[in-house]
Amino acid sequence: RRSSDLHRTEAAVDSPLPRLVPKGGAYGYDLIAYVGCETFLRGRKLESVAREFPQIPFSSLYDVQHKFLFYFGHLHRQSAPVLAARFGRRGGGTWLIDATIEPDTPMYFGIYEAQDNVLLDAYRIPSENADAIPPCLKQTASRFGEPRRVLHDLSDAMAAACEQAFANVLHTVCHFQF
């Protein structure tokens, strides 16, 4: 529901609905969550979701989709101390690291905690090289603690990045990649 509609409703009746719209926003959290979950978790195309909301401009739904990522990322960062404590109690985690290499798409570098099935971080990087990856590893370690072990593909860049970022952390080739 549009924020302006909610504020008109509030003027007529004391309503909690305006609190469901982010400050300065035009659409409620429910729409943001729905669009984000449908497109990112269920893999639907935004065009498909847009057909359910013909009254909302496609560009607004695109913006809503990106707000979902912003809010989700913020929530994830807030949970980092809890996750770090969990990993620390068991002596660190096992990280799986890899970068996407799909034609005509941006490259993303992901860091996944294997035991808990949690994506810790994802970074957009210019290429899979030993200069771009270490800052990502170090930043993730600053949030979640150093891993006990890192698994990666056969890339020399991944191996060099692990050695540069973590002098005392075991890193090996993932048997699935091998």
Residue 123 φ/ψ, nearest 5 degrees: -130, 140
Instruction: Confirm whether pTM is higher than 0.85.
Output: no
Report the pLDDT value the prediction gives residue 1, as an integer from 0 to 100. 45
Report the pLDDT value the prediction gives residue 6, as an integer from 0 to 100. 44
Q: Which among 139, 148, 145, 131 is positioned nearest to 95, based on CA atoms? A: 148
Q: Which amino acid is at 87?
A: F
Tell me how far the alpha carbon of residue 43 is from its chain's centroid: 15
Task: Kindly report, residue by residue over 37-78, the tens digit of the pLDDT.
Answer: 999 889 999 999 999 999 999 999 999 999 998 888 888 889
pLDDT above 90 (res 24): no
CA–CA–CA angle 57, 58, 59 (5° rounding): 90
Rounded to an integer, the average pLDDT of 150-171 is 93
Band the pLDDT of 13: cuts 50, 70, 90. low
Could you tell me the sign of the dihedral formed by the alpha carbons of 133, 135, 136, 138, in that order? Answer: positive
Report the pLDDT value the prediction gives residue 178, as an integer from 0 to 100. 47
Report the pLDDT value the prediction gives residue 162, as an integer from 0 to 100. 95
Beta strands in the chain (DSSP E): 94-99, 107-113, 118-125, 149-152, 170-173
Which residues is 97 bridged to in the sheet? 111
DSSP-assigned letter for residue 38: I
Tell me how far the alpha carbon of residue 79 is from its chain's centroid: 13
